[in-house]
Amino acid sequence: MTDHDPKLVAALDALESELQNMLDGHLVEADFWPAFNADADRIRAKHSGDDLQYARGRIDCMLKNAGMIPGEDE
For the stretch 15-49, pLDDT in tens is: 999 999 999 998 888 999 999 999 999 999 999 99
Helix axes 49-65, 29-45, angle to 10 degrees: 160
Average pLDDT of the chain is 91
What was the pLDDT predicted at 72?
Answer: 58
Beta carbons of 65 and 73 less than 8 angstroms apart = yes
What was the pLDDT predicted at 25?
Answer: 92
Collect all residues with Cβ–Cβ distance below 8 Å to 63 and sequence separation of at least 6. Answer: 69
